[in-house]
A and B are shown apart, each in its own frame.
Chain A
Amino acid sequence: MLIKYKWVKKLKIKGIFKWLKREERALLSNKVPKISEHVVWRRVKGSKPLVIALNLKSGIFHILEDAEAEVWLLTDGKRTTNQIIEILCKKLPDMRSKKITEIIKKFKNNELINLI
């Protein structure tokens, strides 16, 4: 009985987390990612998209490749997350909206962008 109860509790918690993540994604989709003022960046010339960004506050260099670079190059402070997802999903068939929101969250956590 106790074991069963634990499972029910776990499932409920999992459900809450899933719901929270969905809400977070929904909230994010209407936000406009904007590159932070304390970030200096450069697109590296070449056939594949590659971006190097330097966070002046933390002193940390970030090398953004593939999907991360694609998202970064569309981050112009005007497009919403949804618009970025739309463009990238059309351009790259393998791209998933979940992945793009994860990348944007990662940028935010590294203080590379602000969400406005």
Chain B
Amino acid sequence: MFLDEECILKVLLIQPPFNPEYNLPPLALGTLASAVDAAGHEVKILDFNLKFKDGIPIKSAVYKSLKYDADVVGLTCWGNMSPFVIEFCKMFKSIQPETKLVIGGEYATFRSEDILRKSKADFVVRGEGEETFIKLLDTLEHNGKISKLQGITYRKGDKIISLPDNPHFLDMDKLPFINWNLFEDLKKYDGYGKYGQIPIQASRGCPFNCIFCSVQRTWGGIQRRKSPARLIAEIKHLIENFDVMWLGFVDDTFTLNKKWVIKICNLMLKEKIDLRWKVITRIDLVDEDLLSIMKKSGCVEIFYGVESVVPEIQRFIGSKSYAENLVKKNIAKTIAAGIEPVISVIFGWPIDTLKTVKHMARFCEDVVKRGVSRIHMHMLFPLPGTRLVKEYSSAIIPNPYPKVTQPDLAKIPYELYSLLELHREYVPDFWMFKSKYIDPLKLIRIYAETKLSIIEANIHRYSFA
């Protein structure tokens, strides 16, 4: 293997199970698979999250993967996927040591040496994978020197070596269109099969360096955007080839550049693109004009990462500085424009007090009364690679009720959940930050009571609607 210059590598890309309710094809794996395909290698995708809604024993996952007889197996790794990835790689390597195992993804990027040591995998591709992974495949194919690459952590004898970071590539237009045909069971994803929904990425990077967030370290602090013309071409390609009716933009701050968004919307209108779409952004980055044109061109939902409206918490976060009134006004403007606002809030800051927690609880109850039906409530957890973990590692404690405070954990099937419990240290969701000023149990009760009051408000709304 890897000696014949003409050989095409057989690459298997695996999405580990993480949340059986997630119903869209994985964008990151789609992008990577399309880049591998465009580079001339043979690529297969195996999505264990789609295929095994009740969890999957590691042994079955390994044997299913072995059937592909791949030269290189790549696995995505976020926090709650890491126990699966570690166990999978260990077993896979014990059966077929000659296959190269590569781990990528956000979590692997920030704990690359640790995960490589624990998993027995061969490589971790850190940061954006499209260029680095292709360069790694080329190096393996031609028996080149790994040490000349960037963005790779690898094993050399007993040593783990981390090569320098790969700089973020600037031209987003160079990314290939995703070939969704690489997914064998595309229609089995409910989001696509039932509603024709596909995730899409128009930009990467965020200039707001929030203390709890790893986006800036993952994608960089400058927003790199696809040109409106390139994006529209991609959207038309999706409509023509995959009958897409819904687009979910995964960009972290979609409306950062108002002119760019307006150009996209105008082009959508000009090209008579009939689609529904949703975005994620900050609540202080919208106004009436923008919301109006977004609605006209098909936007139906905006996910606002509000996180906190308490001034001292906003100062702590470092880049949130909008008044509660502005938040409420922009929620009202969004609803008035005919777009559904979805709000994300975080409880459990290391500087939280009873007053700040109650303030957030009141805010949630208030916005529900103002017409917001969906509030994503989270408990702050220690995401590797963030400033928060660096500065407040001593305040990290086990979360006594992770299933209720981290909603995704409650959805994970028993088999997988037991695996996560066995490797708690790798799963950020099992941890929280302790504040000196409020008992964690008291905090969680207020959190839970707020959830119940939101549910109560929605019961009234929908039963009288």
Q: Which of A32-60 contact B (CB under 8 A)?
A: 38, 40-42, 44-46, 50, 52, 54-60
Beyond A59-B403, A59-B404, is A45–B456 a contact (Cβ under 8 Å)?
Answer: yes
Q: List 29 A-B contacts (CB under 8 A).
A: A38-B401, A40-B445, A40-B449, A40-B452, A42-B449, A42-B453, A42-B456, A44-B459, A44-B460, A45-B460, A46-B460, A52-B452, A52-B459, A54-B404, A54-B448, A54-B451, A55-B404, A56-B400, A56-B404, A56-B444, A56-B448, A57-B401, A57-B403, A57-B404, A58-B403, A58-B410, A59-B403, A59-B404, A59-B409
> Which A residues touch B452, using CB under 8 A?
40-42, 52, 54
Chain B contacts for A17, CB-based, 8 A: none
A19 interface residue per 8 A CB criterion: no
- The residue of chain B having its C-beta at the shortest distance from the C-beta of A56 within the complex is B401
The reply on B455 being an interface residue by CB < 8 A is yes
Cα–Cα, bound, A42→B449 (Å): 8
A61's nearest neighbour on chain B, judged by CB, is B455
CA distance A28 to B452 in the complex (A): 30
Chain A hits for B451, CB < 8 A: 54
List residues of chain B with CB within 8 A of the CB of A59: 401, 403-404, 407, 409-410
Q: How far is the CA of A59 from the CA of B451 in the complex (A)?
A: 12
Residue of A at shortest CB range from B464?
A46
Bound form: Cα–Cα A38–B453 in Å: 17
Q: Are B456 and A44 in contact (CB under 8 A)?
A: yes
Instruction: List, in ascending order, chain B residues with CB within 8 A of A45's CB.
Output: 456, 460
Query: Which residues 366-411 of B have a CB within 8 angstroms of A?
Result: 400-401, 403-404, 407, 409-410
Top 6 nearest A-B pairs (CB, nearest first) are A59-B403, A59-B410, A40-B448, A59-B404, A56-B401, A42-B452
Bound form: Cα–Cα A59–B448 in Å: 10
Residues of B within 8 A of A38 (CB): 401
Question: Could you tell me the distance between the alpha carbons of A84 and B39 in the complex, rounded to whole angstroms?
Answer: 72
Chain B residues touching A, range: 10 to 19
Taken together as a complex, chains A and B put the C-alpha atoms of A61 and B460 apart, in Å, by: 17
- With a cutoff of 8 Å between Cβ atoms, the chain A residues found around residue B404 in the complex are 54-57, 59
* Residues from chain A with Cβ under 8 Å of B403 in the complex: 57-59
**Chain B residues closer than 8 Å to A58, beta-carbon distance:** 403, 410
Residues of A within 8 A of B448 (CB): 40, 54, 56
- Residues on B with beta carbons closer than 8 Å to the beta carbon of A60: 410
Report the separation of the CA atoms of residues A55 and B452 in the bound assembly, to the nearest whole angstrom.
Answer: 11
Find chain A residues with CB under 8 A from B459 CB: 44, 50, 52
Residues of A within 8 Å of B400, CB to CB, are 56
Instruction: List B412-465 residues whose CB lies under 8 Å from chain A.
Output: 444-445, 448-449, 451-453, 455-456, 459-460
Report the separation of the CA atoms of residues A102 and B294 in the bound assembly, to the nearest whole angstrom: 54
**A52 in contact with B410 (CB, 8 Å):** no
Of the listed residues B407, B449, B452, B453, the one surrounded by the most CB atoms of chain A closer than 10 A to its CB is B452
**Hey, which chain A residues are within 8 Å of B445, CB to CB?**
40
In the complex, how many angstroms separate the beta carbon of A59 from the nearest chain B beta carbon?
3
| Across-interface contacts of B453 in A (CB, < 8 A) | 42
Q: Which residues of A contact B460 (CB under 8 A)?
A: 44-46
**Alpha-carbon gap, A46 to B463, bound state (A):** 11
Task: Report the separation of the CA atoms of residues A40 and B361 in the bound assembly, to the nearest whole angstrom.
Answer: 15
A50 to B463, CA, bound (A): 13
How many Å from the CB of B379 to the closest CB on chain A? 12
Q: Which residues of A contact B409 (CB under 8 A)?
A: 59
Contact indicator per residue, chain A 58-69, by CB within 8 Å of chain B (1) or not (0): 111100000000
CA distance A54 to B400 in the complex (A): 15
Q: How far is the CB of A102 from chain B (nearest CB, A)?
A: 25
CB distance from B401 to the nearest CB of A (A): 4
Excluding A56-B448, A59-B409, 17 further A-B contacts by CB distance (< 8 Å) are A40-B445, A40-B449, A40-B452, A42-B456, A44-B460, A45-B456, A46-B460, A52-B452, A54-B404, A56-B400, A56-B444, A57-B401, A58-B410, A59-B401, A59-B403, A59-B404, A61-B455
Q: Judging by beta carbons under 8 Å apart, are B401 and A52 in contact?
A: no
Q: In residues 131-182 of chain B, which contact A (Cβ within 8 Å)?
A: none
Residues of B within 8 A of A42 (CB): 449, 452-453, 456
Residue in chain A with minimal CB distance to B402 = A59
**In the complex, residue of chain B having the shortest beta-carbon distance to the beta carbon of A39:** B448
User: What distance in Å separates the Cβ of A52 from its nearest Cβ neighbour in chain B?
Assistant: 6
